[in-house]
Structure 1
Amino acid sequence: MRTIAILSSVFALAVLGTGCVSNKKFAALQTSYGELQNEHRALDGKYQTAQRELTGATTRVSSLEEQIASQKAGLRSLQAALDKCLNSTSQGNVNISKLVDEINASNKYIQHLVNTKNKSDSLNMVLTNNLTRSLSREELRDVDVQVLKGVVYISLSDKMLYKSGSYEISPVAGETLSKIAKIIKDYRDYDVLIEGNTDNVPISQKNIRNNWDLSALRASSVVQSLQTTYGVDPKRLTAGGRGEYNPIASNDSDDGKARNRRTQIIITPKLDQFMELIDKAPESTEAPAGQPAQPAQPAQQ
C-alpha cells in the first residue's frame, strides 16, 4: 500500500512536469500506474476475505473452548460418580455377604419347617390308617376319616351318635367312640376339637332354643363322653357348635340334610408347638462394621 502511494506521488509529479518528461516515458508511467491500481484492488479483496475468515475462526475457537470446558465439567462429574460407585461397591460387598448369610439361615429354617410338616403329615397318615383299620365295615358307613392340610377330620353321622332331635349319646355309639378315644389317647401331642353341625330345619325341643344350642350341646356330650367314659385328658378337648352355618351339602334334599347333621372330631398338632417354631425363626443380630450378621439358629427337634 505504501508503494502505491509513492508511485502515485511520482506519477503526479511526472504529469505536472510533462514539459520535462517525454511522451514515451509518460505512457510507460501511466501503464505502471494502472497495473498498480489493479494490484491494489486485488490485495484489498484478499484483505477483506482474510478479515472475514479471521472473524469466523475466532468464533469457532470460542465455541471449541466452551465445548472443552463442558467436557471437562462432565469428566469431573463422571469421576465423582465413579468414586461414589466404588465406595458403594465396597460397602455393598459387605451387605451382600450379610444377605447371603441371612438367606442361608432362612433356607435352613424353611427346610426345618418342611421336615416338621412332613413328619406331622406322616403321623397323621399313620393315625388315619390306625383308625380306619380299627373300625368295622358297618361303622365306616357312618364315619368318614380325612386328612386335609395336615389336620385329621373324623366326621360322625348324627343317626349313629344321637337320638333324633336329641343331644344324648346313643348306646350304639359307644363302641365307635371307644376306638376313636384310643387313637386320641395314643397321640398325646394332638389337640382335639369336637364340632357340632346341624341341617337348617328349626329345632322345636323344650330348653333348646335353636340349632346353635343343639350343635353346641351335641359337641359337649361327645367331649364329656370322651372324658368321663374313655379317659381322654379334658385339657386336650374343646367343644364347639356351628349350627346350620357350615353345611357340606345342600339342604334341599333329605340326603343333603343327613350329611349336614354331623359331629366332627378334628385332631390337630398342638398350636403351641407351631407357635414355638415361629418364635424361634432366624433373626438378624447386630454385628461390627464389615462383619456379616449372625442369624439365630432354628429350634432343634
Structure 2
Amino acid sequence: MKKIFLMLLAGGLLVSCASKKDLEAALAKQIETKELLDTATVKLNACLADERAAIARIEGFKDQIESLKNSNSALLTNQGDLVMLSTQGSRNLERSLESMKEKDLQIRSLNDAITKKDSVTLALVTSLKSSLGNLQDEDISVNVEKGVVYISISDKLLFASGSDKINAKAIAVLGKVAKVVNDKPEIEIMVEGHTDNQSISSAKFTDNWALSTSRANAVTRVLQEDFKVAPKRITSAGRSFYIPVATNDTPDGRAKNRRTRIIVLPKLDQFFDMVEKGMEQAKENSKKETKVNKN
C-alpha cells in the first residue's frame, strides 16, 4: 500500500513539472509572436507607403501620356505627316520625357524617405522592448499603429485610485522609457492621461479632465526632473474619458481605459526636410542625365 502511494505521488509531481514547462513555453511563444506582429506591422506600413508611391507614379504617367497624346494629335493636324515631326513638337516631346524622368526620381526619393522613417520606427520598437525587458506584464504594452509607436501604461501600475502621485515601481518603468528617449534626440513624445467614464469630484479634482491632465503632468515631471528628458521634447495632454479602448460598461473595460499613453512622435520638420532635399537632388540628377544624353 505504501509503495502504491509513493508511485502515485511521484507521478503527480511529474505532471506538475510538465505543466509548468508547457506554460513557460507558451508564454515564450506568446512574446515571440507579439514581436513578429510588431515587425510585420512596420513592414506592412512600408508596403502601404510603396503602394501610395506607385499609385502617385502611375497618375503622373497618365498625365504625361495624355499630354503626349494631345501633342501628337496637334502635330498630325497641323502637319499631316506621320513621319516628320516639327521642331516644336520634338521639343515638347523632349520636355515631357524630361518631366517624366524627374517625377520618377522624385517619387523614388519620397519612397526612400518613407522607408527610412519606417526603419527608424522598427529600431525604436526594438530599443523600447529591450529596455523594458519582459513585456508579459499586462499593465505595459508597446504597439505600432500607422507607423507611430505607442507605449501604454495602466493607472493600476502608475497611480493609486483617484490620485496623481506616481508609485515607486512605475518610476523605474518611466526611467527605462526615458533612457530610450534620451538616446534618440530625433524624436519627441506626447504624454496622454486617460480615464474611464466614472464621475469624480474631490477637493483636488473637479472632474475627469482635471484628473487626466494632472496625471499626464505628473508623468511629464518625472521624465523631466528625475530622468532629464528635455522639456521642449515633451507635450502633456489630458484626454479625460473620450478616447476609450474598451467598453466602460464592465470593470475590466474601465480598467483598460484608465491608462497613461506615451506617444513617440517623429520630428516632422526633419522628415520633410529630408524629402525636400531628395526632391532637389532628383532635379539635379535629371538635368545631368539630360546633358549627357544631348552630348
TM-score tier after normalising by the smaller chain length: 0.5 to 0.7
Q: What amino acid maps onto 1:242 in structure 2?
A: R
Q: Is the 8 A contact 2:214 2:238 kept in 1?
A: yes
Secondary structure of 1:101's counterpart equals helix
Q: Is the 8 A contact 1:128 1:152 kept in 2?
A: yes
Instruction: Quote how far apart the aligned CAs of 1:196 are.
Output: 1.2
The answer on 1:83 being equivalent to 2:78 is yes
The answer on 1:184 being equivalent to 2:181 is yes
Q: What amino acid maps onto 2:219 in structure 1?
A: V
The answer on 1:171 being equivalent to 2:168 is yes
Instruction: Quote how far apart the aligned CAs of 1:263 are.
Output: 0.9
The answer on 1:103 being equivalent to 2:100 is yes
Distance 1:85 1:264 in 2: 69
* Alpha-carbon distance change, 257 to 112 in structure 1, aligned in 2, over 3 angstroms: same
Q: What amino acid maps onto 1:196 in structure 2?
A: G
Partner of 1:222: 219
Secondary structure of 1:169's counterpart equals coil
Q: Is the 8 A contact 2:174 2:223 kept in 1?
A: yes
* Alpha-carbon distance change, 92 to 104 in structure 1, aligned in 2, over 3 angstroms: same
The answer on 1:250 being equivalent to 2:238 is no
Distance 2:119 2:278 in 1: 23
Secondary structure of 2:245's counterpart equals coil
Q: What amino acid maps onto 1:276 in structure 2?
A: D
Q: Is the 8 A contact 2:113 2:271 kept in 1?
A: no
Instruction: Quote how far apart the aligned CAs of 1:89 are.
Output: 6.3
The answer on 1:202 being equivalent to 2:190 is no
Q: What amino acid maps onto 1:295 in structure 2?
A: K
The answer on 1:112 being equivalent to 2:109 is yes
Q: TM-score, normalised by structure 1?
A: 0.62
Higher helix share: 2
Instruction: Quote how far apart the aligned CAs of 1:141 are.
Output: 2.2
How many pairs does the alignment contain?
209
Q: TM-score, normalised by structure 2?
A: 0.63
Unaligned runs of 5+ residues in structure 2 are 1-74, 287-295
Unaligned runs of 5+ residues in structure 1 are 1-79, 284-293
* Alpha-carbon distance change, 296 to 133 in structure 1, aligned in 2, over 3 angstroms: same
Identity %: 39
Instruction: Quote how far apart the aligned CAs of 1:138 are.
Output: 6.9
Instruction: Quote how far apart the aligned CAs of 1:237 are.
Output: 0.6
Distance 2:149 2:213 in 1: 20
Q: What amino acid maps onto 2:97 in structure 1?
A: V
Instruction: Quote how far apart the aligned CAs of 1:255 are.
Output: 1.1
